[in-house]
Every structure is written in structure tokens, then in C-alpha cells.
Amino acid sequence: MALTGIQIFKLLPKTNCGECGVPTCLAFAMNLASGKAELDACPYVSEESKALLAEASAPPIRPLTVGYGDTAVKIGGETVLFRHEKTFYNPPGLAALLTDDTDPKVIEQKCQRYMAYQYERVGLNLRPELIALKCVTGDGAKFTQAAKQVLQSGDFSLILMSEDPAVMKPAVEAIGNYNPLIYAATPDNFEAMGDLAKEAACPLGVKAGDIDGLMALTQKLSDMGLKDLILDSGSRTVKQSFVDSVAIRRAALMAQNRTLGFPTIAFPCEITDNLAMQTAIAAGLIAKYAGIVVLSDFEGSVVFPLLLERLNIYTDPQRPMTVTQGVYDINGPDENSPVLITSNFSLTYFIVSGEIEASRIPSWLMIMDTEGLSVLTAWAAGKFVGDAVGMFVKKSGISEKVKHQSLIIPGYAAAIMGDLEEELPGWNVTIGPREAAHIPKFLKEYKVA
Ligand code: SF4
């Protein structure tokens, strides 16, 4: 069990030297107990105390990785129940279900189709990462072959699904170095599955009939030395899936229940056959703590909204999303094309660039780093003012891309025009529209001076 703040305090040096970043050992002990500090921050803890404190300072939900390379999914490691308390760190993986009786050509086609569901957003490549391969043939050789086929057919990490250790063994031996999730250890097979996962150093799914069963099972597997576990409470109804998911998170964070301190896996594909309904359930489970969500199929209309939801929930609410400062070309501009400038708040960028794109007027869009503030807020904060914008324009390299000296500034930044013209002598500064929706009309009428 985790130690309380007072128990931790008793193991600290009690010199109150403050080197850990807080003034007293007691404050540090309290931070350690609530997962807000790392034990390494105190250089004076004895080795003996360190061993005792290791458990207390471990994250309440173990972080672990499933898969390999670009599609490796890091899950767990969360420290709060609600995103606004701090942030959520590790977004859940999205998986599509395939079975090992599927024709290899169909596996290849599906993987290729799934590979196409990749989207650029705020400078990130959003995509689903996982294939859950379920053994329905009961044949280890076929299962292994299908697993290899998935790996050859696309860039995906794998969840291997079979409760038969004899079927799982050859597959793990063949592709264990790709760090697949071995799913699942149950009360009937946990020793053999535990040995397999331990030998291959792969994460292990743990499935029981309810949360009590899950706790008993993770305790046994932990006693075997297994650390990277992923929990499945076995619930296959919408209501019970949510209830269990929330109960597991609360038990891990609030009661510091170590037997439930692991990420979870959820199976909307086993709750309903309807893909739209699975998507709705997955959306709820992404918001409520699932570490991996398995659907029966991927389609653009399924994947895109789930990826966006995941992105939105798993971004730090205290830090605005930004795009990289620079000069962006839209619609294939040349040296005579208009030049616009705005802030690097990602929403501003996407709205403005979208409107320019819709206008079909080839243009240059300059994005200035305002620490993620929108134009008006950045201006009020002194980050989007005449001299700063002028300096940025001079250093941006735009003069090498265009042969004119005309610049369009956002309507909301009209107040900077005087200072900007002083900073950029010879430039012709025009005030653009306040609303991005008016950009297409503005650009169609605009003439570069
Ligand atoms: Fe106490 Fe260690 Fe922090 Fe110093 S660094 S105040 S000894 S916990």
C-alpha cells in the first residue's frame, strides 16, 4: 500500500534544507504522497529509505508502452481525475479488430485503408495506432501468420487476443520484439500468460469478471514480478463499462489502490455491432479514462472525430495550442502574391488559413509567435505590437519571397499600424478584415501596391 504523507515524512532527513524546491521536509513528504513530487528531488534520502519510499513515489497509475516505433502508444501515468485539475498526459490508443481467419489479402487491404486515416492538425500527425488481432481459429500457426501479415501490411502496433497460452506462445515468440499487448490473462490462465509476458517483456492485458476479480488477479501477477498490466474489468455493457472505468480511476488516484493502478482497455466492439454506436461509446470512454479503445472497424467518419476528441482532451488546458512561427504558403503563391500576418494561436491560424485557402487567392501567411495568444489578446499583452511585428517581418525572410513591400495586418490590430510603418519604412501596410470570414472578399478586391 502507498504511504501517507506523515509516514513518508518519518523517512526523510528532516533538515528542512529546501533543496527539493519546497521549504520543509514535511511539505515535500505531502507532495510525494500526492504524486506532485519526485523522490529524486531530495538528494539526502538514505538508500534504505529510498527502497521504502519507492512505492509511495511511484505514479498512481503505471505508465507503460504498447507497440513499437512511430505507432507505440504510451498510456497510463495519469495523476488527476479531471483534466482541469492539471492535465491528462498520455492519450489512449485507438485499435481496430481483425480476426486470424481473415484472408491475408483482406488483412493487407484493410491495413492499407486504415493507414490512410491520418490527419495533420496543429502540426501533429493524428492517426490510429493499433490493430487488435483476435484468434478465432484456435490455431497458433494461423494466429502467428496473421500477426506477421498485419505487421507487413501497414505501420501498426499489435494487440494479440487469445486466452489460450498455447496459441499465444508461438505468436509472442515470433513478434514479441514488436512489444505487442498480450491479451489476456484470466483467472484460469494467468500463470502461463504471466510467464509468457515476463519472458517476452511485453505488456499484459488482465481480464476478470468484475473489479474484485481484477484486483485479485493483478495482485497475483504483481507477485510474479509483472509490472506492465492493462486492466479489463470484463464489463460489456455501456453502463457497466463507464462505471468500472471511473471506479478503477478513482480507486487508483483517491484510494491509492495499487492493484488498480494500471491503464485500462475497453471494447466498444464487444458491446454493439453498430459502428456508429461504438464510436459514441468510444467517445465517452476516451473522456472517461480508457487507455486503449478497440472498435470493430475504422472509417474516416469514425476515426477523425475520435482523434480530434482525443487531441482536445489530452492537451494541457493551461497552455494554448500553437503553430510554429514562420511564413506559410497557401494556394501556391509567387513573388507578387499578397502577404498577411497573424498570431500563432492555432485556432487563429486554422481559421485564417482556411479562409485564405477558400478564397483561392495564392497568398503568403506570416505567423508570428505570440505564445499562443489570439491577435487582440496578444496586442493587449504587448506581444503583437508595431515594433515586435516589424522586427519579425524583417527577420522572417519574406523579402526574399516577394518583390513588393505590402503587408496586410488583422483588423483587430489596426492600432499598431502607425508604429509598424515606422518600424518598416517603405512598406505599405493595409488593415485587413476583423473577421476571418471576410478575408476571401477582401483578398479578391485587394491589390498589391
Ligand atoms: Fe528535506 Fe530533502 Fe527537501 Fe532538504 S531536500 S527539505 S532534506 S526533503
Range from 24-33, 172-181, 334-343 carrying the lowest mean pLDDT: 24-33
Beta carbons of 171 and 144 less than 8 angstroms apart: yes
Does residue 22 belong to any structural domain of this protein?
yes
Question: In the predicted model, is pLDDT for residue 175 greater than 80?
Answer: yes
CA-nearest residue for atom 4, ligand 1, is 17
Which grid coordinates belong to 308? 480530434
Q: What is the pLDDT of residues 7-38, one digit of tens each?
A: 889 999 999 999 999 999 999 998 888 767 88
Sequence letter at residue 435: E
Residue 253 · residue 79 · CB < 8 Å: yes
- 318 in any annotated domain: no
Q: Give the ligand 1 atom nearest the CA of 23.
A: 6
Which of 11, 15, 22, 26 for a ligand 1 pocket mutation test, highest count of atoms within 8 Å of Cβ? 15
Residue 54 predicted with pLDDT over 80: no
CA-angle at 152, arms to 151 and 156, nearest 5°: 35
Q: Are residues 249 and 180 in the same domain?
A: yes
Cα 31 to averaged position of ligand 1 atoms, centre (Å): 12
Instruction: List ligand 1's pocket residues with C-beta within 6 A.
Output: 12-13, 15-20, 25, 28, 42, 44
* pLDDT for residue 249: 97
- Which atom belonging to ligand 1 lies closest to the Cα atom of 41? 5
**CATH at 50:** 1.10.15.40
User: Is pLDDT at 306 greater than 90 in this prediction?
Assistant: yes
Same domain, 167 and 284: yes
141 plus 14 within the same structural domain: no
Note the pLDDT of residue 55: 66
| Residue 99 within any structural domain of the chain | yes
195: domain CATH number is 3.20.20.20
The DSSP symbol for 12 reads S
Number of domains in the chain: 3
Owning domain of residue 212: 64-313
The predicted pLDDT at position 51 comes to: 80
CATH number at residue 390: 3.40.50.11600
Gap between the Cα atoms of 355 and 28, Å rounded: 51
> Can you read off the three cell numbers belonging to residue 399?
523579402
56-101 pLDDT, tens digit each: 667 889 999 999 999 999 999 998 999 988 899 999 999 999 999 9
- Domain membership of residue 255 (yes or no) is yes
For cell 486466452, name the residue. 163
- Do 171 and 308 lie in one domain? The reply is yes
CA of 54 to the centre of ligand 1 (A): 16
Rg of the chain in Å (alpha carbons): 27
User: Hey, which of 9, 11, 12 would you mutate to test ligand 1's pocket, going by the most ligand atoms within 8 Å of its Cβ?
Assistant: 12
Q: Quick check: is 125 in a domain?
A: yes
Are β-strands 130-134 and 157-161 bridged in parallel, bridged antiparallel, or unpaired?
parallel
Considering the domain architecture, whether residues 143 and 287 belong to the same structural domain is answered as: yes
pLDDT at 403: 95
Q: Residue 115 is which amino acid?
A: M
For the chain, the average pLDDT equals: 94
Residue of the CA atom closest to atom 1 of ligand 1: 25
CB atoms within 10 A of CB 93: 27
- Output the residue whose Cα is nearest ligand 1's atom 2: 42
For 309-347, b where at least 16 C-beta lie within 10 A, e where not — what string? bbbebbbeeeebbbbeeebbebeebeeebbbbbbbbbbe
- Atom from ligand 1 closest to the CA of residue 16: 6
Pair 303, 423 in one domain: no
Which ligand 1 atom sits nearest the alpha carbon of residue 45?
Answer: 2
End of a domain among 33, 57, 81?
A: 57
Both 285 and 182 in one domain: the answer is yes
Which pLDDT does position 36 carry in this prediction?
A: 77
Q: Do both 333 and 303 map to the same domain? A: no
Best CA proximity match to 182, nearest among 214, 147, 217? 147
Residues 186 and 117 in one domain: yes
Residue 273 lies in a domain: yes
Residue nearest to atom 8 of ligand 1 (CA): 25
Q: Which of 17, 40, 45, 50 to mutate to test the pocket of ligand 1 (most atoms within 8 A of CB)?
A: 17
Answer yes or no: is 320 within a domain. no
Whether residue 276 sits in one domain with residue 150: yes
Domain boundary among 283, 313, 343: 313
Residue 200: CB atoms within 10 A of its CB come to 19
Q: Assess whether 91 and 205 both reside in one domain.
A: yes
Categorize the per-residue pLDDT at 209 as very low, low, confident or very high, splitting at 50, 70 and 90: very high
Q: Are 97 and 34 in a shared domain?
A: no
Ligand 1 centroid from CA 124, angstroms: 40
pLDDT at 1: 53
Q: By percentage, how much of the chain surpasses pLDDT 90?
A: 86
Q: How far apart are CA 12 and CA 248, in angstroms?
A: 31
Write down which residue in 313, 337, 355 finishes a domain.
313
For 107-126, the DSSP string reads HHHHHHHHHT--EEETTEEE
Q: Which of the listed residues 10, 16, 31, 38 should we mutate to test ligand 1's pocket, taking the one with most ligand atoms within 8 A of CB? A: 16
pLDDT band at 169 (very low <50, low <70, confident <90, very high): very high
Give the integer Cα–Cα distance in Å for 1 and 405: 68
